[in-house]
Amino acid sequence: MKLWYPDYQPRDYELVDYERFYVDGCNVPFRGPPLNPFKAEPNSYFSCLGAVQTYGAFYPRPYPALLSESLGLRSLNLAVGGTGPGFYTLYERLIEAMNRGRFVVLQCMAARHAGNSRLQADGYVEFVIDRRTGESVPSWAAWKRIIVEEPDNVLRYVEESRRAWIDTSLQLLSRITVPVIFFYYSRRPPDYQIDAAAIEAQRERLRQGTDSGPFVEGLMGDFPHLVDGRCVREVAAACAGYAECLSARGMGQILVSRFTGRPIGEVEHSALGDEFVKLPHMSHNTYYPSAEMHEDAREALLPAIDRVLGKTPKK
């Protein structure tokens, strides 16, 4: 199993201090404020699981921190960039940490690395093993291989990955004993259509060596990649509550230094690993949820939390 995680701090040092810390039993750093769940009083905090949308890249106050302020409860942000629900099933101590808290917010994560008969999940954080070659590669690169090498099998692999994602999500939920609010957080609604013409156009760019986008967008849709409405409904039905935030408010912001207040130029992704060096540099935030979107996430979650737990204490 590949133990890889995106360490955003070296890349984003000019933008934000993520206050990284560790939870006993897991050697992946999480985003602070630091909290030791095994020394905190039970029910004195809540846990947030998810990918970079919950981690809150680029911004000092992601939605878990905003919820903490609104609820008067500490937040345990267990998000890992590029992860899927299977990651949490690998760490019993993380499950124990969640179950000591008051409730869990489970972000709807991507299914692109869930695995299928061509790809095997490899740690559930971005990487998969190509069963044909035995290589561990980023999931976005693996799906590009598939549309070129096996165009007739693409839809079958998608359905297999979706089923694996659902099954893994339900396995995770079966181990969480506190109330779980399933959180769909995206710029697109859960239901979307696969765009065969867009896939064919990208396949041709790949053949010509002119493709620069990281994902097969016609296949995956916007984040959460490959997850459709059926997936969302099946997993949400197993949770105590559901919240949905569809927002793109504030996207496209210039990235500004926390030290100088001036634009930082471009963020390069080389700090994340050799596989990410060629990803397009960013001078504006065109991918991660904006500060305004984190505010929208909080507003979407608060009523769901109230419905599940009753009126929660507010500051």
pLDDT for 66-124, tens place per residue? 999 999 999 999 999 999 999 999 999 999 999 999 999 999 999 999 999 999 999 88
| pTM exceeds cut of 0.75 | yes
Structure tokens at 69: 């302020």
Per-residue pLDDT at 63 exceeds 90: yes
Q: How far apart are CA 129 and CA 119, in angstroms?
A: 6
Task: For residue 13, give every residue at least 6 positions away whose Cβ sits within 8 Å of its Cβ, in sequence order, or none.
Answer: none
pLDDT for 268-307, tens place per residue? 777 677 667 666 778 999 989 999 999 999 999 999 999 9
Distance of CA 246 to CAs 1, 11, 67, 223, 294, Å? 34, 28, 18, 11, 11
Burial class (CB in 10 A: 0-12, 13-18, 19+), 314: exposed
Per-residue pLDDT at 171 exceeds 90: yes
| Percent of the residues in the chain that have a pLDDT greater than 90, as a whole number | 87
Task: Decide which of 149 and 5 is more confident.
Answer: 149
Per-residue pLDDT at 21 exceeds 50: yes
From 3.40.50.300, 3.40.50.261, 3.40.50.1820, 3.40.190.10, which CATH number describes the 8-127+151-193+221-252+291-309 domain? 3.40.50.261
Q: According to the model, what pLDDT value does residue 281 have?
A: 79
Q: According to the model, what pLDDT value does residue 311 have?
A: 64
Q: How far apart are CA 295 and CA 289, in angstroms?
A: 10
**Mean pLDDT within 230-254:** 97
Q: How far apart are CA 26 and CA 7, in angstroms?
A: 15
Compute the mean pLDDT over every residue in the chain, rounded to the nearest whole number: 94
Backbone φ and ψ for 290, nearest 5 degrees, come out as -75, 170
**Mean pLDDT within 146-151:** 97
Q: According to the model, what pLDDT value does residue 277 have?
A: 66
Q: According to the model, what pLDDT value does residue 275 have?
A: 66
Per-residue pLDDT at 1 exceeds 90: no
**Mean pLDDT within 189-201:** 96
